[in-house]
A and B are shown apart, each in its own frame.
Chain A
Amino acid sequence: MASYIVKRVLRSFITLFLVVTIVFCLLRFMPVEGYFNNFDKMTPEQIERQLDARGLNDPLPTQLVRFYNDLVHMDLGESIKYRPGVPITEILAQRIPMSMLLGTISLVLALALGIPFGRLMTRYKGRIPDHIGTAFVVLIQAVPAVVYYLFIQMYGTSLAGLPLLFSRTNLATYVLPIISLAIGNIAYYAMWVRRYMIDESNKDYVKLAIAKGVNSRTLMSKQIFRNAFVPLVQYIPTSLILTLVGSIYVESIYSIPGMGGLLVKAIQMQDNTLVQALVLIYSFLSIIGLIIGDIAMTLVDPRISFGKKGGAR
């Protein structure tokens, strides 16, 4: 297993290198106008000087080597346009904790509600709780997220009287963003838990367990649920890690100083260093999430083992 993980990590580094390099090069092909706020009023000499100063006129390989050299020294550079002169790490250090905090709470909430909902729907399959649950899942999946975000905002502030604008120190302002972030995941987990549990309960081993006299309650919780949860285990680490990406809509609705939309803004502003740093971080985290997910799978499912061939049927 150890050698498998080493191989996996090395391969991930290659992926990461490719992603970052490609994005780096693509950014360099953008028109130079984007680098300046008052491009029209600048003389060609001024432009050239600026580009030279930022190293943008150097040959691509030189720029690339410089970037990786800085990276090895843990230097992500400074923002060039979003907040000129401020180190990227500082910008991230301010914003990441907020997004992660809200994201993690909402994910925990989603798991804590979505899983029991899914189990309830399975237990009452084809009856009223299942129909209500299915209606909820379909509604959430079908309606664009922005629409129910706005509904939550409207009714949350007018009926429940919760504050609209986010404030770090006022816990009441956390409620609406967390609900908004969680509601989609609640539907997601309820749907998949239900689906996998129903799949499992139609399997032969469940029939054998019934025939040998296991009562249905024990069977549901100890065997069907556990086995149904295996495929979900793989995705939980990724979803947890990716909470730091934040949510564009939710964070902008409630003015939360998080990561949501930062990448989009950085790309629009052609803030190369910021884009590079964000792409690097997001890819790195996704890859880590997948590796952890795969390792988690081997822990819960004995049929899956790393390295050995033909372990599973």
Chain B
Amino acid sequence: MDKDTIISVKDLHVKFTLRGAILNVIRGISLDIHQGESIAIVGESGSGKSVFTKTFLGMLDSNGYIDSGEILFRTDDSGSDESIVDLAKFTTEKEWLTIRGRQIAMVMQDPMTSLNPLRTIGKQLEETVLLHHKGMSKEDAHKRAVQLLTDVGINEPERRCKQYPHEFSGGMRQRVVIAIALACDPRVLICDEPTTALDVTIQAQILKLIHELQQKLNLTTIYITHDLGVVANVADRIAVMYAGDIIEVGDVNEIFYQPCHPYTWALLSSLPQLGIKGEDLYSIAGTPPNLQMEIKGDAFAPRNPYALKIDYLERPPFFDVSPTHKVRTWLKDPRAPQVEPPETVNRLGEGRL
């Protein structure tokens, strides 16, 4: 594990039992997340984005479990190997309490329901502060809560502390949720579709806020989203997920301007910004695979117009496109035929986004 890697996932398999059947929800993900970076995990609904990050906090639903694999996490900045723990081995709540909030924090999708409706904002913040600073006085916790509210851009924090969540607007609540997430000085912040439930003007504000806080606090942020517009603005790197696997990962520019996986092509082609007036918008034919089945080869092959024979037989390995850009597709094999990305994707290079 590199010194600047904070989370290193190795061949992670997550399964769910559902009505007697077993679902292979995460199928062998490997991913390194670097200290201080901002990485976006994109993919369509049901691709396993949320499940993947929930494993970092031990928050899988009760019917889900890690079947195999490692989630190595560096618990401090010393760079020594002693500070590395394997989150996949955690079983007790006691172990998780050393991680949740103080190492890895989370901002969830819907700020309208993320706060306890019967407690004041101040109480909810103070509670979080006290959780991780045992022995801190009530007054100090309150001061810290006020400071946190100020940090996330809430006016009149003293007065706001005494109010209940229903007295806040959606955007303001999401700011409070972010303040709560930051209350224990975490090193990693997972933002699970942080702006999906907000209107567009507020979206931009919240993303800007997270971005500023990330710079200020040297946070590692993981965004989960299906909105590529969001990604383009905030992420340093992008990991594209399909059917429980990361099929392409690279810097933002690499993914947007030199995508290599046919699924990434299809995803980018679906961007409404790339549509041509008068023509139908692009959509990917078919449906994602049934996760109950053992998937052979490349999961995207049945929907992939460029699929090769081998795509149906054997799972492609990662091919390095550049030192930072990796892709899981047989098209990058030296023996594969040369396939050009579709016309729509090339339009991205013309700066249409």
* A positions within 8 Å CB-CB of B: 203-205, 207-216, 223, 226-227, 230, 300-303, 311-313
Contact = CB atoms under 8 A, between A and B. Distances in A.
Contact of A211 (B100, B115, B166): B100
Contact of B59 (A203, A210, A311, A312): A210
6 contacts: A207-B59, A209-B116, A211-B57, A211-B181, A213-B97, A303-B166
A223 B166 contact: no
Given A203-B113, A204-B110, A302 B118 contact: yes
B252 interface: no
Contact of B106 (A203, A211, A312, A313): A211
Contact of A302 (B102, B132, B166): B166
Contacts of A203: 113
Contacts of B115: 205, 208
A215 B93 contact: yes
10 closest Cβ contacts across the A-B interface?
Answer: A213-B101, A213-B100, A204-B113, A211-B106, A212-B101, A302-B164, A205-B116, A208-B114, A204-B114, A303-B166
B96 to A, nearest CB: 8
Contacts of B97: 213, 215
Contacts of B113: 203-205
A251 B203 CA distance: 65
A230 B57 CA distance: 30
Contacts of B110: 204
Interface in B81-115: 93, 97, 99-102, 105-106, 108, 110, 112-115
Contact of A301 (B100, B118, B177): B118
A210 B116 CA distance: 12
Given A208-B115, A208-B180, 14 more contacts: A204-B108, A204-B110, A205-B114, A208-B106, A208-B108, A208-B114, A208-B177, A212-B183, A213-B99, A213-B101, A213-B102, A227-B117, A230-B118, A300-B118
Contacts of B100: 210-213
B225 interface: no
A214 B117 CA distance: 17
Contacts, number: 77
B184 interface: yes
A311 B115 CA distance: 17
A93 to B, nearest CB: 42
B127 interface: yes
A226 B118 CA distance: 9
B132 to A, nearest CB: 7
Contact of B101 (A211, A227, A312): A211
Contacts of A300: 118
B33 to A, nearest CB: 18
Contacts of B128: 212-213
Contacts of B116: 205, 209, 223, 227
In this complex, the member of B59, B112, B117 whose beta carbon has the largest number of chain A beta carbons within 10 angstroms is B117
Contacts of A215: 93, 97
B223 to A, nearest CB: 16
Contacts of A227: 116-118
Most chain A CB neighbours (cut-off 10 Å) among B59, B102, B118: B118
Contacts of B117: 205, 227, 301-303
Contacts of B184: 212-213
Interface in B170-203: 177, 180-181, 183-184
Contacts of A301: 117-118
B7 to A, nearest CB: 16
A311 B164 CA distance: 11
A228 B178 CA distance: 26
B131 interface: yes
Nearest to A227: B118
A199 to B, nearest CB: 12
Contact of A212 (B119, B131, B166): B131
Contacts of A312: 166
B350 to A, nearest CB: 41
B131 A214 contact: yes
A210 B131 CA distance: 12
Given A207-B108, A302-B164, A313-B166, A212 B118 contact: no
A140 B184 CA distance: 48
A301 B114 CA distance: 17
B185 to A, nearest CB: 12
A124 B115 CA distance: 25
A226 B128 CA distance: 18
Contacts of A212: 100-101, 105-106, 128, 131, 180-181, 183-184
A306 to B, nearest CB: 16
Residue among A209, A211, A216, A223 facing the most chain B CB atoms (10 A cut-off): A211
B132 A213 contact: yes
A221 B105 CA distance: 23
Nearest to B180: A212
Nearest to A203: B113
Contacts of B118: 226-227, 230, 300-303
A293 B88 CA distance: 49
Interface string B35-58: 000000000000000000000010
Contacts of B102: 213
A203 to B, nearest CB: 6
Contacts of A230: 118
B62 to A, nearest CB: 8
A302 B177 CA distance: 19
Nearest to A204: B113
Given A230-B118, A300-B118, A303-B117, A211 B164 contact: no
Nearest to B119: A223
A41 to B, nearest CB: 69
Nearest to A301: B118
B328 to A, nearest CB: 30
A211 B131 contact: no
A290 B119 CA distance: 25
